[in-house]
Amino acid sequence: MSKTKKNIATFTGPQLGVTTVGNHAYGYSGLYEFDNSAFKSGLHFQTGSQYHKAVITWGYPENSGDNIQSQIYLNDVKVYSQYHNNTRLDFTGPPMSIKIILPPHTEVKIGSINGDGNVRDGLITYGSEVFNG
């Protein structure tokens, strides 16, 4: 019996992409640098023809109390922006997670900007259930 591979979504990331397995998608940005010059995307992808019921987590290993914003853009419109301080991945503070439903046929950019202007590292994890509407 042969299986037909279904292309649910396409993804790119600065170091590691996102993998779709059955009706789930998983992603990891790897470390990416950002500052206050412009929003920097850690993950950038198209949702394809399905909805994504996602959990997105940002972490900043070297935050040092900077005014960092975690952001989400859908079709180049900012739909989420949250300031937070001291969100670290070295277990001195919790990473920040949100739950969101992403619509089909949507360009998604997930990333960060630093209001204090310092160059910082960030990383993003992405996990979603993929389903038809």
pLDDT at 102 over 60: yes
Domain total for the chain?
1
What is the H or E stretch that residue 126 is in?
strand 120-131
Q: Is residue 1 one of the residues assigned to a domain?
A: no
Domain, as residue range, for 32: 10-131
Q: Is residue 3 one of the residues assigned to a domain?
A: no
Q: Distance from CA of residue 46 to its chain's centroid?
A: 12
Tally DSSP H helices, then E strands, for the chain: 0, 11
Tell me if 12 sits within 8 A of 108, measured CB to CB. Answer: no
Q: pTM for the full model?
A: 0.80
The pLDDT assigned to 35 comes to 85
The values of phi and psi at residue 108, to 5°, are -120, 130
pLDDT digits (tens, 9 = 90+) for 63-86: 566 778 899 999 999 999 988 765
Q: Is residue 2 one of the residues assigned to a domain?
A: no
